């Protein structure tokens, strides 16, 4: 059967595959459109299996906030070139939309969901077949809040932050939230405050500081005091509220929140944040 340009175009429109791949699929299947589509899907699955062990350290972070619901997803690929391609971004945005509309429990549940007549896992295989690189949805976070949700995407879309401020709303709270989201992006705190730092992390840090003090020849009766002092410095550096506020280094983040809250007549609190960095 003669494979015409219009047949190739129709297959491309249906699958998004490259022209030569579409022509080969039609030739291999005597012009049968449905068999050619299945051929291309199998090709995508084979490519996905072949790339499974490859490293996917590039990609994008995408966010969406709408009617008190926030979503942030990280989708990975192998190269920055692909991360900026239309096909990859279309898949990443489809993942974002599905998380937003269907609220899956985890990535496995997301992959089992319907995406325009295909399972998301099948759409993933098709996209890998088109692009020729490993692609994966690494993680996502969802927020549902009566407070103020703030998102921040750093230029290049490889670093994203989403956070919630409870207790108030309005332009001043939005501005505060943007400033704090950028602080989180830049300073990478491990928790909101010292109480939220897991006990095993505290114990590990204390043991490390104690061992350092021993190696530095500090007296035995001073070891606990030295370790506690260094742990306090850890909290000041790595917990959000105790960090120096980057927009005004005369204040901590906590002091800035209290100042804005006082002006607004509100008791403002950062109740949650997530920070996604591609490859991090």
pLDDT tens-digit readout, 138-177: 999 999 988 899 999 999 999 999 999 999 889 999 999 9
DSSP 241: G
CB 146 within 8 A of CB 157: no
Over residues 5-30, mean pLDDT: 75
Q: Taking the domains of the chain in order of start, what are their residue ranges?
A: 5-51, 54-144
CATH topology (fold) of 5-51:
Helicase, Ruva Protein; domain 3 (1.10.8)
CATH topology (fold) of 54-144:
Tetrahydropterin Synthase; Chain A (3.30.479)
Which tokens in the block code for residue 225?
Answer: 């005091």
**DSSP-derived pairing of the beta strands 136-144 and 69-77:** antiparallel
Q: What is the mean pLDDT of the chain?
A: 89
pLDDT score recorded for residue 235: 94
The reply to whether 5-51 and 54-144 are identical in fold is no
- Edge-first strand order for the sheet with 269-277 is 148-153, 159-166, 269-277
Please write the tens of the pLDDT for every residue from 70-81: 999 999 999 999
pLDDT score recorded for residue 150: 97
CB 152 within 8 A of CB 161: yes
Distance CA 66, CA 58 (A): 27
* Nearest alpha carbon to residue 99 among 137, 150, 153: 137
Report residue 21: phi and psi, to 5°: -65, -40
Query: Strand (E) positions, the chain?
Result: 58-66, 69-77, 114-115, 118-119, 136-144, 148-153, 159-166, 269-277
46 pLDDT tier (thresholds 50, 70, 90) = very low
* Nearest alpha carbon to residue 164 among 173, 155, 154: 173
pLDDT score recorded for residue 179: 97
Distance CA 193, CA 191 (A): 6
- Edge-first strand order for the sheet with 58-66 is 58-66, 69-77, 136-144
């Amino acid at each position: 059967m003669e494979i015409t340009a219009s047949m190739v175009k129709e297959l491309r429109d249906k699958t998004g595959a490259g022209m030569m791949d579409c022509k080969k699929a039609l030739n291999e299947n005597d012009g049968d459109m449905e068999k050619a589509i299945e051929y291309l899907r199998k090709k995508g699955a084979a490519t996905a299996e072949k790339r499974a062990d490859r490293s996917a350290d590039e990609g994008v972070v995408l966010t969406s906030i709408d009617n008190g619901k926030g979503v942030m997803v990280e989708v990975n690929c192998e190269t920055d070139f692909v991360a900026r391609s239309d096909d990859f971004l279309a898949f990443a945005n489809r993942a974002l939309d599905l998380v937003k509309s269907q609220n899956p429990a985890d990535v496995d549940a997301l992959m089992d969901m319907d995406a325009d007549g295909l399972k998301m896992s099948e759409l993933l295989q098709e996209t890998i077949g088109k692009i020729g690189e490993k692609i994966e949805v690494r993680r996502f976070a969802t927020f549902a809040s009566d407070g103020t949700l703030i998102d921040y995407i750093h230029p290049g879309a490889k670093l994203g932050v989403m956070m919630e401020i409870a207790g108030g709303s309005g332009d001043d709270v939005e501005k505060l939230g943007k400033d704090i989201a950028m602080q989180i992006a830049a300073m990478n705190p491990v928790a909101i405050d010292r109480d939220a730092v897991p006990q095993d992390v505290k114990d590990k840090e204390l043991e490390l500081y104690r061992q350092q003090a021993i190696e530095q020849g500090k007296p035995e009766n001073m070891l606990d005091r030295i370790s506690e002092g260094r742990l306090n410095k850890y909290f000041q550096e790595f917990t959000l509220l105790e960090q120096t506020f980057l927009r005004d280094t005369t204040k901590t983040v906590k002091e800035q929140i209290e100042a804005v809250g006082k002006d607004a007549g509100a008791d403002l609190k950062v109740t949650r944040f997530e920070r996604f960095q591609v490859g991090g």
